[in-house]
Amino acid sequence: MAKEVGTYYDAVWALVREIPEGRITTFGAIADALALGSARMVGWALNQSSQAEFFVPAHRVVNRKGELSGRLNFETPTLMEERLVKEGVPVKDHVVVDFDKYFWSPLDLLHEE
DNA sequence: CCAATGACGACTT
DNA sequence: GAAGTCGCCATTG
């Protein structure tokens, strides 16, 4: 059961959890904000997010193109897209519409201070 | 221990 | 501007 996960995963989960509803961010933005590892590590962390004790809105994290790259990794391949649409983020062909418009940067948290 | 892969991204041709 | 190549860092074979 090894709940003891790396601090890196925990940081990613915490950050993703801070993503406002109806907003999305990218792997690169998270990796850049954490200044750790790389975009691939973020994806890996989200993949392990299923073992997180709290809910991680991983569906709000997409790649640089706005594609729902990890939709196949969810419980169901359509869960990610349905959740985004449900929260007000239009998705077309597994790609977020107006991606740049709904994009939310984790650095924005620091900006609020 | 070496090789391949992965929810990616930026650079080069 | 599209396609190809390399880099990132960790997990798995």
Share of chain A above pLDDT 90, in %: 69
DSSP state of A106: T
Q: Which nucleotides of C are covered by protein (CB under 7 A)?
A: 7-11
Span CA (A112) to C1' (C12), Å: 41
Confidence (pTM): 0.90
How far is the C-alpha of A81 from the C-alpha of A5, rounded, in Å?
28
Closest CA to A70 of A8, A27, A99: A27
Question: Which residue do the tokens 């990890």 mark?
Answer: A70
Q: How distant is C1' of B5 from CA of A17, in Å?
A: 28
pLDDT of residue A110: 66
Q: Report the C-alpha gap between A24 and A18 in whole angstroms.
A: 11
For every residue of A54-90, DSSP letters joined together read: S---GGGEE-TT-B-GGGGGSSSTTHHHHHHHHHT--
pLDDT tens sequence across A13-41: 999 999 999 999 999 999 999 888 889 99
**pLDDT at residue A111 above 80?**
no
Q: Does strand C come within 7 Å of the CB of A39?
A: yes
CA of A109 to C1' of C8 (A): 25
pLDDT for residue A2: 45
SS (H, E, C) A95-109: EECCHHHHECCCHHH
Instruction: Give the pLDDT mean for A68-88.
Output: 93
